[in-house]
Amino acid sequence: MFLLVLVLNRRECLNKILEKYLEIGIKGATILDSKGMGRAFMEGDSPVVGGLRNLIYNQSRPGNNTVFSVVESKEKIDEAIREIESVIGSLGEPGTGIVFTLPLERVKGLTGPYS
């Protein structure tokens, strides 16, 4: 099993991605509101000043969503990433988001095909 993590910059696409997850058999996800480092610098008392602050501000987003899902196979991960990109476009493009996975050694508390 694997943990699939999506940091989604295009928040307006969240529901469509969750629908795609359901279509391919990913039946659960935990969604957190999150923000990137650029936004944190803009909101805090950071030493970033002048032109650098403006550069960060212009490139930062108001917020994003971080979506965690337990996925049973590498094939399902590949399918999920294809579906994510079918909604938001290539993850290689700026402003879309990032995806990464982590192997899970042990999972308890899930029912269905995971248990």
What CATH number corresponds to the domain at position 13? 3.30.70.120
Residue 7 domain-assigned (yes or no): yes
Share of the chain above pLDDT 70, in %: 74
Residue that wins the pLDDT comparison between 100 and 55: 100
Return the pLDDT at 49.
Answer: 53
In the chain, how many H helices and how many E strands? 4, 4
Assess if residue 41 is contained within a domain: no
- Give the count of domains, the chain: 1
Residue 24 domain flag: yes
Q: What is the pLDDT of residues 2-53, one digit of tens each?
A: 999 999 999 999 999 999 999 999 999 999 998 876 666 665 555 555 555 5
Domain that holds residue 89: 2-34+63-106
Note whether residue 92 is domain-resident. Answer: yes
**For the residues 76-94, what does the mean pLDDT come to?**
96
Is this prediction's pTM over 0.85? Answer: no
Closest CA to 41 of 28, 68, 18, 60: 60
pLDDT band at 90 (very low <50, low <70, confident <90, very high): very high
What is the C-alpha radius of gyration for the chain, rounded to an integer number of angstroms? 16
| In a domain? residue 95 | yes
The 10 Å CB-count burial string (b at 16+, else e) for 57-76 is eeebeeebbbbebbbbeeeb
Residue 19: inside a domain, yes or no? yes
